[in-house]
Structure 1
Amino acid sequence: MSAQIGVSCGGDFWSDEDIIAVEELGFDSFWTGEHIVYHRPILEAITVMTRAAALTKKIKVGPATQLISLRNPTINAKQLVSLDVMSGGRVLLTVGVGGDYPREFHACGVDIKKRGQICQESIEIMKKYWTGERFDYDGKIFQLKDVDMLPKPVTPGGPPIWVSGRQDAPMKRAATIADGWNPYMYTAERSEWSFNRVKDFAHEAGRELPKDYAFCNFIYVSMFDDEKEARDWGIKELSYRYEQDFTDLVDKYCAYGSPQKVKEYLANYIDAGCNNLIIAPIMPPDDRKSHLERLAKEVLPDLRAMTPKAIL
């Protein structure tokens, strides 16, 4: 089975035409970023997902990544199950603890030191809500008594939840209670190491990961025929997005250059075991569709022809 390939708008505003093109050109999913209070303009994730779901008919929609620690799990579960029902079961969810921008935790009234525990309990609570059955929950952060949530999701058990992150704690969370692992800013070699680490953590916890478990990666792509132009675009965009200089990091964390070079870079991740790739294309805002068309025509077919390395 070939890897699933999605496209992220990164929380930017895309036109209807650009979003529809993601589906029409054969990509499998549409993603958006998330921050609530941030150093640059960025749209709220569930709002963007809802718009994308309304504009498309088949592809999945999701946040990469939702900062779940900033949200009340009951409200979050309700919003996501509502979108799952309205979209016919097309919601995917990657979640993370955040923490790289502390002032948004203060703005949301959340103790940044508790973000890991909040994330853990939120995943557990949402999965319980999505069974449609009544339950109690007695956590360190949240306590619930005799609650339930209807309607039940179209997707059995609710939208799949993939944990995003870079450290052992999110890997353990992915291994024990989630449906996938989605690191970012990882090389292909580091990704393969983390996939096996997640598998080992699951084994230690006595869990057998399902055959459809998602091993994913989020990767920036700057595809221009001129390699210097592609690299310069990568540096500019990533420096803007993360508010730090990426001059020395772009070679490690961005696929840039010609279609052939981009294909070779992304193929390494599939060879490492990625069965899902979320591509964040770097391109002029007024010329997105032609860039997506080139990706679909000159990169996507070769990636589709590959079989991800078996991790399980």
Structure 2
Amino acid sequence: MDVGITLPGFGHDAVEHAQHAEGLGFESVWHGDHLIPVSPFLDATLVLATVAATTTRIKLGFGVMVLPLRPVAWAAKQVATLQHLSGGRVLLGVGSGGDVHGEAAWRAVDVPFAERGRRTDASLAVLPPLVRGETASVHGTPVTLSPPAPMPPVLIGGGGAAALRRAARFGDHWYPAFLPLRAVAAGVARLEELATTHSRPRVGVTVGVSVALGAVANSVVEHRIRSMTDYGLTEEQAREVVVTGSAEQARDHFARLAEAGADRIVAMPFTDDRFRQAELVAEATQT
């Protein structure tokens, strides 16, 4: 199973964290994306471009790009550029924007909040040919971008029915976060059904996992659990999916995710000792 880890949402040390993760053997680093999120993020495209210039091997993941907030041609240009700068290391997580972040960003870019799902699907339909330099129709206008680039793998964010349908139709991976093991297994089963409908292979599964390993104050964990209820989880579900304790306990949890069908996990540390968390996650995932 591949293992990635998220970068800090803001600050000047993304490069140090990415280089540290690369040195520890992580497959990928990930950065969140939104225009006006509930927690501050730097712009994902610029962060990942900076990381691309200062690393050599590690893959660069959007976790996830809120595609309908951007004109699709611009998004395609950004993705293609990052593929060039990184030597083809992009993992393109895509989402339609969660309710938790509200409507302010959508009003700011004059996109109706209620249309975000439809616009996501429409963008995903034309994004691959645009990135590859092929002519695609965008709002009735033929558009050809250059220079072309290989289309990166698309990971469809979200844990609900719409995300599963979107992943089966457009994606290479389904990318939920904070899901209990039984929900991951149920999602994998549903993807098997949908693969038949769309005459495509069953897509892979990447799971985002909230982690705080080692000696962590109980108050920090409790604060994280309360914040996760904003994403639609009950307190009981949040306690089930937060991974705490030793590296050995984390290894057991990650193994159960693999048994449920996960091909990749993305560790999402929520404590201040992020360098140490990366080391503990690396220890937990060593075979």
8 A contact 1:99–1:112 mirrored in 2: no
Q: Which amino acid aligns with 2:210?
A: Y
Deviation at 1:150, TM superposition (A): 1.4
Deviation at 1:123, TM superposition (A): 0.9
Equivalent runs, 1:281-292 vs 2, <5 Å: 281-284=269-272, 287-292=273-278
Question: Which region of structure 1 is more displaced relative to structure 2, 171-180 or 33-42?
Answer: 33-42
Tell me, in whole angstroms, the C-alpha distance in 2 between the residues paired with 1:242 and 1:47. Answer: 30
Pair 1:163 & 2:156 matched: yes
Structure 2 equivalent of residue 12 of structure 1? 10
Cα offsets for 1:96-145 (capped at 9, x unmatched): 111412222112211011111110011111112123222335xxxxx132
Tell me, in whole angstroms, the C-alpha distance in 1 between the residues paired with 2:261 and 2:98. Answer: 28
Structure 1 equivalent of residue 113 of structure 2? 112
CA separation of 1:249 and 1:188: change in aligned 2, threshold 3 A = closer
Pair 1:147 & 2:162 matched: no
Deviation at 1:249, TM superposition (A): 4.4
Root mean square deviation, CA, Å: 2.1
Tell me, in whole angstroms, the C-alpha distance in 1 between the residues paired with 2:205 and 2:192. Answer: 10
Q: Following superposition, which runs of at least 4 residues in structure 1 exceed 6 angstroms of deviation? A: none
Structure 2 equivalent of residue 84 of structure 1? 83
Give % identity.
26
Taking structure 2 as the reference length, what is the TM-score of the superposition?
A: 0.91
Q: Which amino acid aligns with 2:83?
A: D
Count of residues paired in the alignment? 283
Deviation at 1:162, TM superposition (A): 0.9
Tell me, in whole angstroms, the C-alpha distance in 2 between the residues paired with 1:48 and 1:246. Answer: 32
Deviation at 1:236, TM superposition (A): 2.2
Structure 2 equivalent of residue 216 of structure 1? 206
Taking structure 1 as the reference length, what is the TM-score of the superposition?
A: 0.84
Deviation at 1:11, TM superposition (A): 2.1
Tell me, in whole angstroms, the C-alpha distance in 2 between the residues paired with 1:270 and 1:283. Answer: 25
Structure 1 equivalent of residue 194 of structure 2? 201
Tell me, in whole angstroms, the C-alpha distance in 1 between the residues paired with 2:152 and 2:3. Answer: 18
Deviation at 1:204, TM superposition (A): 1.4
Q: Which amino acid aligns with 2:209?
A: I
SS in 2 for 1:92: strand
Tell me, in whole angstroms, the C-alpha distance in 2 between the residues paired with 1:146 and 1:247. Answer: 49
8 A contact 1:235–1:250 mirrored in 2: no
CA separation of 1:291 and 1:133: change in aligned 2, threshold 3 A = closer
SS in 2 for 1:299: helix
Tell me, in whole angstroms, the C-alpha distance in 2 between the residues paired with 1:215 and 1:39. Answer: 26
Q: Which runs of 5+ in 2 are unaligned?
A: none
Deviation at 1:238, TM superposition (A): 5.2
Q: Which runs of 5+ in 1 are unaligned?
A: 138-142, 303-312
| Aligned with 2:223 (options 230, 236, 250) | 236
SS in 1 for 2:83: helix
Tell me, in whole angstroms, the C-alpha distance in 2 between the residues paired with 1:300 and 1:14. Answer: 27
